Structure 1
């Protein structure tokens, strides 16, 4: 039980399980994620990592349990949850006919965090995409496309990041940049749930782990704790 004056978690899961029909969906999950914390979700392909992140984002209705934000169950006010959350799925969701600049301009507008072209261009330069500013997204490499959507997450400055394999296709320099972005986000009081086969290099004091493979090995016993 937390003290009455302690801040509420940014995100909590209470007995969360995926709906029937979801292949390899996760069993009951419980955790509290506070400001400045990262939850690293790992496990084999098909272990339920993506289903879990979609439930946390409000995109998949759970079979049982609830996802709780600062204002209670996220289903009571989905728009408020969406306004505080940046979700990055497996796909980059880019329009191939639009340039990198146009894709970010549209993505940030839809997310409710519009930015001017100068700010977008500066962010793309920081992510080593300055030369791709006016290039159609269809011509970007896999790694460039991933960096482009990560730039949108950073620019959006939402307090909660839900990232599904954000490191897919990234080279060593981009992995370092992703790590720096996560550390800055946590230091600013944000929180993140990251599904990845790679262990994060964030401080152990700020990192929890959730091993989805435990569901298959221990009858849905969940492993959530310090890294």
Structure 2
């Protein structure tokens, strides 16, 4: 007898997704999905299209073919803005504002996770005491931690993390894994790009391996 129980659409699903640059394929066609309480680990070397894939999913680049669905609905701009929090290679911070001012500014733009504050987020990522430091004075690792604080504050259920372990020491790598684990435990989902197998948080994980793009 067929199973008549209702099914839940994935947090994000891609079907036949493809992207080219100057008529050279970067990736695709790709079919993949990520559910709530799950991470999709996107692996591949330089030039494999990992960053480009996340930028397409975030709506920063337009795919050449295929579709992206969020909870079963076409990923229009407003739906992406509501459901996706993207942490790219660049921190996306204002250099002349303080660390805390940046977090308050970004929360004003994108919203804030319930029962969390910028001050507590800075403590979580190991930046207690740097609230008043101008971002231009922070190291690359400290800027990455501040970006992680913003990610933690976001109310969006889907995290897109592009090489989140870069510029972090072992304690920072552990921090990322704990944050991803807590986010998924609360019902969220994540896509994480990485070069290395070490970067695998202890959560339910799928793997998407990208090949190197054509020269």
Using structure 2 for the length normalisation, give the TM-score. 0.90
Aligned match of 2:27: 26
Contact 2:45 2:212 in 1 (8 A): no
The 1:197–1:183 alpha-carbon spacing in structure 2 relative to 1, beyond 3 Å, is same
Superposition deviation, residue 159 in structure 1: 0.4
The structure whose RCO (Cα within 8 Å, separation 6+) is larger is 2
Give the corresponding residue for 2:49: 48
Report Cα offsets for 1:132-187 as digits up to 9, x if no partner: 10000000000000000101101113100001011110111111111000011111
1:114 Cα deviation from its structure 2 partner: 8.0
Query: Per-residue displacement from partner, 1:63-119 (whole Å, max 9, x unpaired)?
Result: 000111115211xx3112211110011100111100000111111211133889x92
Structure 1 residues not aligned, in runs of 5+? 217-227
Is the helix fraction higher in 1 or 2?
Answer: 1
Does residue 167 of structure 1 match 2:177? no
Aligned to 1:220: none
User: Do residues 146 (structure 1) and 144 (structure 2) align?
Assistant: yes
> Which residue is equivalent to 2:9?
8
Q: What is the CA RMSD across the aligned residues, in angstroms?
A: 2.2
**What is the deviation of 1:213?**
1.8
Equivalent residues in 2 for 1:35-114 (5 A)? Answer: 35-74=36-75, 77-113=76-112
TM-score (norm 1): 0.86
Q: Quick one: distance in 1 between partners of 2:113 and 2:206? A: 32
Distance in structure 2 (CA, Å) of the matches to 1:98 and 1:115: 24
> Quick check: 1:119 aligned with 2:120?
no
What is the SS of the residue equivalent to 1:150?
Answer: helix
C-alpha distance in 1 between matches for 2:182 and 2:51:
24
* Aligned positions of 1:174-213 closer than 5 A: 174-199=172-197, 200-203=199-202, 206-213=204-211
User: In structure 2, what is the equivalent of residue 221 of structure 1?
Assistant: none
Distance 1:95 1:191 in 2: 27
In structure 2, relative to structure 1, the CA distance for the partners of 1:203 and 1:126 (3 Å cut) is: closer
Distance 1:42 1:119, change over 3 A: same
Whether contact under 8 Å (1:23, 1:46) holds in the other structure is no
Q: Deviations over 1:177-209 (max 9, x none)?
A: 1100001111111100001113343347x1111
User: Structure 2 unaligned runs (5+)?
Assistant: none
| Contact kept in structure 1, 2:15 and 2:30, CA below 8 Å | yes
CA pair 157-3 structure 1, distance change in 2 beyond 3 A: farther
Aligned to 1:225: none
User: Which structure dedicates a bigger proportion of its chain to strand?
Assistant: 2
